[in-house]
């Protein structure tokens, strides 16, 4: 019976070495356990050392191609492949290569368990990626899969299931978030800085989690934040301005207060904080030690949870705000102030105006209607 273990590189027997030229062959017609193991191995395989051969160049090209996807996407695909393989094992099916009919049945079964259409789209994409990685015919392109997915989406729409976007954390919402946050505790200083930096820079949660102190450069008008990699620019670094402000929303002052209080000189900017348990000395309980600041950066998921927790403390619902709320709020605030769309696109680091529009939260649909005064 396959277990739910995720395989670490050091735990895998016969894993390819850093200098390996040929990745392990896919376990065609193998069980789900073998497929999951292979997928984890090949996703973690390092780029081979160049040796001047054509085989080495092709192997390196494949390794670089796998790195074209963002870390979040790769993690999501790994989780989706795991679900797919476990489902195939339960039904005695081969996960690689799979038939279109089996993929359609999988999507229908998952939908019956209450899985959302967005999650099903991701799982379908992961199965497609798995087969392309293995060099197998792609079953997700079959007509039966497309029709099943279209039917699931139509059924979801008929039931009133509409994808709900997170609330945009505009300037007004930001002030509401900050109101319950103190200004002395380390967690309060960190969370205040995280919220304001994310808002001022229109940052995604992964970008916030990845900030290092070395990425910040002082200037006369604020701080220059270098993002080594962003979703919209995988190939080159992007510089984001964090300007000085004259209000309680100034990101630079909040960031400096957190950095000084935490004693941070290098490394990750936003880190985990925890309080170790108090010890006992004889029969008397000693005073609890002070909070401990970790060495590692917060994860993107931790950033989202911090925003959710602060939103609930400010009176919002648990699912109202999330990791994208800060970015949406910054762009929406700029739109409400009449900032030109080209500048909003630059602030959001979007490739197209269509993507930018997905992040904007428009207010009253009747306010400023294009046909006001005409009808």
Phi-psi region of 373 (alpha: psi -120 to 50; beta: other; left: phi over 0): left
Q: Side by side, which strands form the sheet with 238-243?
A: 216-219, 222-227, 238-243
**pLDDT tier at 21, thresholds 50, 70, 90:** very low
**142-155 tens-digit pLDDT:** 999 999 999 999 99
Residue 37 has pLDDT above 50, yes or no: yes
Residue 264 has pLDDT above 80, yes or no: yes
* Block residue for tokens 């995988």: 234
* Whole-angstrom distance, CA of residue 202 vs CA of residue 325: 9
pLDDT at residue 286 in the model: 58
What percentage of the chain reaches a pLDDT higher than 90? 49
Residue 91 has pLDDT above 80, yes or no: yes
Q: Give the right CATH number for 171-277+288-359 from 3.40.50.720, 3.40.30.10, 1.10.443.10, 3.90.180.10.
A: 1.10.443.10
**pLDDT tier at 7, thresholds 50, 70, 90:** very low
Mean pLDDT, rounded, for 278-304:
75
**342-356 tens-digit pLDDT:** 888 888 887 777 677
**pLDDT tier at 22, thresholds 50, 70, 90:** very low
* Block residue for tokens 């309060």: 188
**156-201 tens-digit pLDDT:** 888 877 667 778 899 999 999 999 999 889 999 999 999 999 999 9
**39-52 tens-digit pLDDT:** 988 877 778 787 88
pLDDT at residue 287 in the model: 55
Pairing of strands 271-274, 292-297: antiparallel
Between the alpha carbon of residue 286 and those of residues 242, 278, 282, the distances in Å are: 43, 6, 9
pLDDT at residue 19 in the model: 35
Are the CB atoms for 101 and 95 separated by under 8 Å? no
Pairing of strands 238-243, 222-227: antiparallel
**pLDDT tier at 283, thresholds 50, 70, 90:** low
pLDDT at residue 198 in the model: 94
Mean pLDDT, rounded, for 240-247:
92
> 3-state DSSP helix/strand/coil percent for the chain, to nearest 5?
50, 10, 45
Say if residue 346 is preceded by a cis peptide, omega within 30 of 0: no
67 Cβ partners below 8 Å, 6+ apart?
Answer: 47
Pairing of strands 271-274, 238-243: unpaired
Give the other-Cβ count within 10 Å of 304's Cβ.
21
Residue 138 has pLDDT above 70, yes or no: yes
Residue 277 has pLDDT above 90, yes or no: no
Mean pLDDT, rounded, for 60-66:
81
Pairing of strands 280-281, 284-285: antiparallel
- 122 against 63, higher pLDDT: 122
- Boundaries of every domain in the chain: 9-158, 171-277+288-359
Query: Is 0.85 topped by the overall pTM?
Result: no
Architecture, CATH, for domain 9-158:
Orthogonal Bundle (1.10)
Residue 367 has pLDDT above 60, yes or no: yes
What distance lies between CA 138 and its chain's CA centroid? 26
Between the alpha carbon of residue 269 and those of residues 24, 197, 250, 257, the distances in Å are: 38, 11, 17, 12
Helices (H), the chain: 32-44, 54-66, 71-90, 100-112, 117-134, 143-158, 171-178, 186-200, 205-209, 251-262, 300-313, 325-336, 341-348, 353-359
In the numeric block, which tokens belong to residue 249? 């929303």
């Amino acid at each position: 019976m396959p277990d739910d273990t995720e395989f670490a590189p050091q735990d895998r027997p016969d894993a390819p070495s850093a200098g390996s030229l040929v990745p392990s062959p896919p376990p065609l017609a193998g069980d789900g356990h073998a497929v999951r193991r292979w997928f984890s191995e090949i996703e973690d395989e390092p780029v081979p050392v160049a040796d001047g051969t054509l085989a080495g160049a092709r192997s390196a090209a494949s390794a670089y191609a796998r790195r074209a996807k963002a870390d979040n996407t790769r993690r999501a695909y790994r989780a989706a492949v795991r679900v797919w393989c476990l489902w195939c094992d339960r039904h005695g099916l081969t996960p690689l290569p799979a038939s279109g009919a089996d993929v359609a049945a999988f999507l229908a079964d998952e939908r019956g368990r209450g899985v959302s259409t967005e999650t099903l789209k991701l799982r379908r994409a992961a199965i497609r990626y798995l087969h392309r990685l293995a060099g197998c015919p792609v079953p997700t392109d079959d007509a039966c899969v497309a029709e099943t997915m279209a039917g699931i989406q139509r059924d979801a729409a008929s039931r009133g299931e509409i994808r709900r976007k997170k609330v945009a954390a505009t300037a007004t919402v930001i002030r509401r978030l900050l109101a319950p946050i103190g200004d002395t505790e380390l967690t309060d200083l960190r969370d205040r800085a995280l919220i304001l930096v994310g808002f001022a820079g229109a940052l995604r949660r992964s970008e916030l989690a990845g900030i290092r102190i070395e990425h910040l450069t002082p200037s006369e008008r604020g701080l220059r934040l270098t993002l080594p990699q962003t979703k919209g620019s995988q190939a080159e670094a992007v510089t984001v301005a964090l300007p000085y402000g004259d209000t309680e929303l100034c990101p630079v002052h909040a960031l400096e207060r957190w950095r000084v209080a935490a004693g941070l000189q290098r490394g990750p900017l936003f880190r985990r904080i925890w309080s170790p348990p108090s010890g006992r000395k004889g029969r008397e309980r000693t005073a609890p030690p002070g909070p401990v600041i970790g060495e590692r950066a917060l994860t993107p998921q931790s950033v989202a949870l911090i925003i959710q927790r602060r939103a609930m403390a400010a009176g919002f619902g648990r699912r109202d705000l999330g990791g994208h709320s800060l970015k949406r709020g910054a762009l929406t605030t700029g739109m409400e102030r009449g900032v030109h769309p080209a500048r909003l696109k630059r602030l959001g680091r979007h490739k197209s105006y269509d993507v930018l529009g997905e992040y904007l939260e428009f207010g009253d649909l009747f306010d400023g209607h294009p046909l006001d005064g005409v009808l």
